[in-house]
Amino acid sequence: MTENATTLMLFNSLTRQLEPFNPVHAGEARVYSCGPTVYNYPHIGNMRAYVFADVLGRTLSFKGYRLTHVINITDVGHLTDDADSGEDKMEKMAAERAQSIWDIAEHYKQAYWADVKALNIREPAHWTIATDYVPQMIEFAKGIAEKHCYELDSGLYFDVSTVADYGRLARAETTEGQSRIDPVPGKRNQLDFAIWRKTPPGETRQMEWDSPWGRGAPGWHLECSVMSGEVLGFPFDIHTGGIDHREIHHPCEIAQNQAHCCTNGLDVPANSGAQVWMHNNFLVERSGKMSKSSGEFLRLQLLIDKGYHPLAYRMMCLQAHYRSELEFSWEGLGAALTRLKRLSVAMSHHRSDPGNLEEARRLLSEMDANRELAEKWKSAVLREFDVAMSDDLNTPAALVVLEKVIGATKGLSSGWTIDTLMCALRIDEVLGLGLERLSRADLRIRPKSATITEAEIEAALARRQEARAAKDFATSDAIRDELTAQGVEVMDGDPLGWEWKLGD
């Protein structure tokens, strides 16, 4: 859309600076996001990475760029250590479960996609599945093998001393992440990494392919270099991932990309493959790093089972800047839910007139088709929103703008105009909170464990209302106590009229 003249500034981890977004291909934005390794369910920290990538993609669309977004699915090659030691995560899980890797990959891929949907993350243009790209990985490796790699008994290794400035993305002399690694006998440099792992003699893997370096499997870093280059072409615009990838995975990808581009005479700025590398900070638990194995495994489904709408978690993510660490707590999630309820209640007043919604939608699509019209429209509110999002995706500030649009008009139903509704809808196209559809009933806390039905609660509350109207407070209190005993908290004082919620 051209209603946005503000320059989009993004923080590039390569330079550790905010830089104006300057696409490789005019009017386009090509983005690659490191996707999940599908050996287990994603935790909500993992999902923060995709909410961030989604907000980035939506912002690029809002700014008028034609977006091509790729997210990969890693179903082979990711070892239990991000560098070169340990077992393949997929093989390990398959052995523990005595199941086929393909079944495991399919199960967890579907679970991940369910979370993607629940969090209103837009589908990327391409989901690339690592095992679909193995022939291309072998070709890529063949291209760089002679000048940049060497072979050991355990596989083909990339020699990091053959490229300029290895690890500039990580900045620190990060051997920290590597110190846990069992030394691989014969490695020339400590930071060298496997791009092809040979199956040890006498062993078979469920997933293995023939290659010039023997039967085996690709290295995890190789996968992302190949899939990003194949689908988006080098150089592309933006590569995203969690901050942990800034230390090992992405420096290794960059080294391979440099080698590949030099070998193939591609003129890539700094040869890093992508122009901008962006990283979201971690979601942490009070006790420290989020983990799938220790403590309560914080899956999105757990939040849902406890009664929280998944978009409350999206709201929680948006309340923090993506580069800040975010601490998860149930209180924090509750606060995000309340904030979302306020927005949803305000929106629902206006949505109750379907004519307005239709008209607003119609006008918005007219603007999408007509740049001049969009230019003329440019409401002050939308400019303010644009300024916030163009400031390295400042979602906390953008939420305040949205609240101002929706909440500034007192007496909601009477104060709204089509213009307000259009602004709210356009803003939500970027924030993705689903305000067009969410109702307050959707956002009630209702844990899976609750046995009482909503109809029963509603009936009890109606009886209680009658008793109160008749000033029969004894009956009213008795009904309230009965409900409390069944885990229903009656919220008389809630300013938004959230008349009840189910407790844990």
Q: Contact at 8 Å (CB) between 177 and 247?
A: yes
SS3 452: coil
- Choose one: 23-31, 241-249, 429-437, 489-497; the region binding ligand AMP (CB under 6 A): 241-249
By CB neighbour count within 10 A (0-12 exposed, 13-18 middle, 19+ buried), where does 359 fall?
Answer: middle
73 binds Zn ion (CB under 5 A): no
- Choose one: 126-134, 179-187, 277-285, 417-425; the region binding ligand AMP (CB under 6 A): 277-285
Question: What six digits make up the tokens of 459?
Answer: 């009936």
290 binds ligand AMP (CB under 6 A): yes
76 binds Zn ion (CB under 5 A): no
What string of DSSP letters covers 12-56?
A: ETTTTEEEE---SSTTEEEEEE---BTTSPPPHHHHHHHHHHHHH
46 binds ligand AMP (CB under 6 A): yes
Give the burial string for 29-60 (b: 16+ CB within 10 Å, else e). Answer: bbbbbbbbbbbbbbbbbbbbbbbbbbbbbbbb
In the complex, the smallest distance separating the C-beta of residue 228 from ligand AMP, rounded to whole angstroms, is 14
- Choose one: 18-26, 127-135, 236-244, 343-351; the region binding ligand AMP (CB under 6 A): 236-244
224 binds Zn ion (CB under 5 A): yes
Q: Which member of 244, 419, 442, 499 binds ligand AMP (CB under 6 A)? A: 244
Partner from Zn ion, ligand AMP, none contacting 224, C-beta within 5 to 8 A by type? Zn ion
Query: What is the C-alpha separation between 89 and 73, in angstroms, rounded?
Result: 13
34 binds Zn ion (CB under 5 A): yes
* Number of shown-chain residues binding Zn ion (CB under 5 A): 2
Name the residue among 346, 424, 411 with its Cα closest to residue 379: 424
> Of the two residues 13 and 162, which places its CB atom closer to ligand AMP in the complex?
13
130 binds ligand AMP (CB under 6 A): no
Phi-psi region of 470 (alpha: psi -120 to 50; beta: other; left: phi over 0): alpha
Q: Which member of 276, 283, 320, 336 binds ligand AMP (CB under 6 A)? A: 283
Strands (E), 351-498: 488-490
> Of the two residues 46 and 258, which places its CB atom closer to ligand AMP in the complex?
46
37 binds ligand AMP (CB under 6 A): yes
Question: What six digits make up the tokens of 212?
Answer: 């010039």
By the criterion CB under 6 A, which residues form the site for ligand AMP? 34, 36-37, 45-46, 48-49, 241-242, 244-245, 280, 282-283, 290
